[in-house]
């Protein structure tokens, strides 16, 4: 029996997916629930298991192809019948052109190539590749030099465009007798799917929100000393380490309750004030960054926040976060301080109107003011950066919010947090 493999639905609001990588080739055996391919959406990348055991007889989509949910992308023969080894994937960008050489410019160029070697193997070029070659007066003997990344070494649209954009001087009429010049780069590769999504979202955010930043120093000395004192007993009890992040999250939640405009979003000219406080926590992974949401943080005590932070960070790094958890944030926090960076200007995570950047904690000499006079002490200091949307929040409002976060951190009652 032939079983169709369709593009799965990865979430309620997701209607399409991008083929990232096939783990099996045509003719290879596959077991039930064995990973068949990897798919990327605008939320998350996922490994897709096979829905049947048998032999892969057709692969109907190439890497980087975007397919609608429910569209057939492969076929599996569960009876182990004859393998269709030469099935070609459908050509998406045909534009109704024939497969024969369509442009006189290519034929003309080919005639000028002396002693063109005759090859017995048939080389297949898609119509879109032939069209691009014709428009750029690229002769066939040069087209054959391009290394194809498609199935079976086929030259894809991406391959020829990368070749043309890589510094090659086109051999137009005035330069027919000049050698073709190709610049040599150290390495060139297609941008990872996640980086494409991050690029798209960040550019959209910059085009949407009027970004403004304010910064302040925070004295973390009491929290640093508390963590040192409690980290061993906390790990023995909970099974993971106590970090500084829950202290910052807890302080932010208190400030968001005091300044609800920072826990809102803008839709056109309407401001939506959210009842729930859903904190988005930026987590660095291998190929980029994800911002899973911790929902209903206003209902959680400090220990509950510790568990939520550990849970979403661990599952995100392990690739076990689901697409629904990557949406619905009302305010976001990004901790670049874990990489030793003191200050940063993070981009707002849409549709939020604010994001808090957390810097590294570093010991510094600080002037301590008392009624008995000033003194200098070594304190553990940290920089906080608040990015906010000036369409809704002015400098005064952003400064008050950041000052509230600083005050909550420095004056946290640590006696009963655990």
Which residues participate in catalysis according to the annotation?
A: 390, 394
User: Beta-carbon neighbour count of residue 210 at 10 Å?
Assistant: 12
How far is residue 26's CA from residue 405's CA, in Å, rounded to a whole number? 57
Question: CA dist 3 to 7, 75, 137, Å?
Answer: 13, 6, 44
Element (H, E) at 388: strand 373-389
Question: CA dist 354 to 102, 270, 279, 400, Å?
Answer: 54, 17, 11, 13
How far is residue 160's CA from residue 131's CA, in Å, rounded to a whole number? 11
How far is residue 201's CA from residue 43's CA, in Å, rounded to a whole number? 11
> Phi and psi for 386 in degrees, rounded to 5?
-105, 120
CA dihedral 241, 244, 249, 250 (to 10 degrees): 90
What would the two tokens of residue 232 be?
């061993």
Q: Is the peptide bond before 274 cis (omega within 30 degrees of 0)?
A: no
Question: CA dist 341 to 177, 242, 362, Å?
Answer: 54, 21, 10
């Amino acid at each position: 029996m032939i079983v169709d493999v369709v593009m799965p639905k990865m979430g309620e609001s997701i209607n399409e997916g991008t083929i990232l990588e096939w783990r099996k080739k045509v003719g290879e055996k596959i077991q039930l629930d064995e990973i068949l391919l990897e798919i990327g959406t605008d939320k998350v990348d996922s490994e897709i298991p096979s829905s049947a055991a048998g032999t892969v007889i057709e692969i109907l989509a190439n890497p980087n192809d975007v397919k609608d949910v429910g569209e057939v992308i492969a076929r599996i023969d569960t009876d182990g019948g004859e393998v269709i080894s030469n099935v070609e994937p459908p050509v998406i960008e045909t534009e109704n052109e024939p497969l024969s050489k369509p442009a006189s410019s290519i034929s003309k160029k080919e005639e000028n190539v002396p002693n063109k070697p005759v090859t017995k193997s048939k080389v297949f070029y898609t119509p879109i590749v032939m069209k691009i070659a014709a428009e750029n007066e690229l002769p066939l003997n040069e087209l054959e030099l391009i290394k194809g990344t498609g199935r079976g070494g086929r030259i894809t649209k991406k391959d020829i465009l990368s070749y043309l954009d890589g510094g090659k001087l086109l051999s137009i009429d005035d330069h027919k007798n000049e050698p073709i010049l190709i610049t040599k780069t150290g390495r060139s590769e297609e941008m990872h799917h996640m980086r494409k999504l991050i690029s798209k979202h960040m550019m959209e955010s910059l085009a949407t929100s009027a970004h403004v930043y304010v910064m302040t120093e925070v004295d973390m000395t009491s929290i640093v000393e508390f963590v040192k004192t409690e980290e061993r007993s906390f790990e023995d009890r909970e099974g993971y380490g106590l970090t500084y992040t829950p202290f910052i999250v807890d302080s932010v939640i208190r400030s968001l309750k005091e300044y609800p405009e920072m826990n809102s979003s803008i839709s056109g000219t309407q401001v939506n004030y959210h009842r729930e406080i859903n904190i988005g926590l930026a987590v660095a992974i291998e190929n980029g960054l994800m911002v899973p949401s911790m929902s209903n943080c206003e209902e959680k005590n400090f220990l509950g926040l510790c568990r939520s932070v550990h849970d979403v960070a661990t599952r995100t790094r392990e690739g076990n976060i689901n697409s629904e958890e990557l949406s619905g944030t009302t305010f976001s926090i990004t901790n670049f301080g874990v990489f030793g960076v003191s200050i940063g200007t993070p981009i707002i995570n849409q549709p939020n109107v604010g994001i808090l950047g957390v810097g590294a904690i570093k010991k510094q000499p600080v002037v301590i003011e008392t009624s008995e006079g000033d003194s200098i002490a070594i304190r553990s200091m940290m920089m906080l950066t608040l990015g906010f949307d000036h369409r809704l929040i002015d400098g005064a409002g952003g400064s008050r919010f950041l000052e509230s976060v600083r005050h909550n951190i420095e004056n946290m009652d640590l006696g009963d947090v655990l």
